[in-house]
Structure 1
Amino acid sequence: MAYECYSQVNVDESTKQTVINNGIGLGSVIAGVTSWERNKSVLLAVIHAFFSWFYVIYFVLTRKENERK
């Protein structure tokens, strides 16, 4: 059946492990988005996404009044 081809039922363990190890983490996404909202710079967003949770913690500690809800 054609739908079985796209359902990924028969994915081997090495493929699953590769996807898990090479995926983008939640900390990188949060850091990239918060950096973009604050700086509007793609370069800084990429750099901050690389530092991941370190930038997220820095952002929380240095939030400006207009960034708080």
Structure 2
Amino acid sequence: MNGDRYSFGAEGAKYGISFGTALAIAISYTTNHSIVWAIIHGIFSWFYVVYFALVRGE
């Protein structure tokens, strides 16, 4: 296998996780106005984003 392809995939996964966490924190803080809930939802990251989209999305 090509080493560059693996390297690209690892970088993409790293940025995807970071973006999901930031998105979850932003949604949570905007909705709840609580830093504690924002941290908790940041830990769950993409799970909270999908939950928010399914349950509270318009």
| TM-score over 0.5 (shorter chain) | yes
Indicate the structure (1 or 2) with the bigger Cα radius of gyration: 1
Moved over 3 A (4+): none
Of Structure 1 and Structure 2, the greater helix share is in 2
2:51 is matched with which residue: 35, 43, 58? 58
3-state SS of paired residue (2:56): coil
Tell me the number of residue pairs that the alignment of Structure 1 and Structure 2 aligns. 43
> What do you get for the CA RMSD once the two structures are aligned?
1.8
| Structure 1: 5+ residue stretches without partners | 1-20
- Larger relative contact order (Cα-Cα within 8 Å, sequence gap ≥ 6): 2
Report the equivalent of 1:26: 19
Identity of aligned residues (%): 47
1:42 is matched with which residue: 16, 28, 35? 35
Give the CA deviation at 1:62. 1.4
| Structure 2: 5+ residue stretches without partners | 1-13
> What's the TM-score, normalizing by structure 2?
0.66
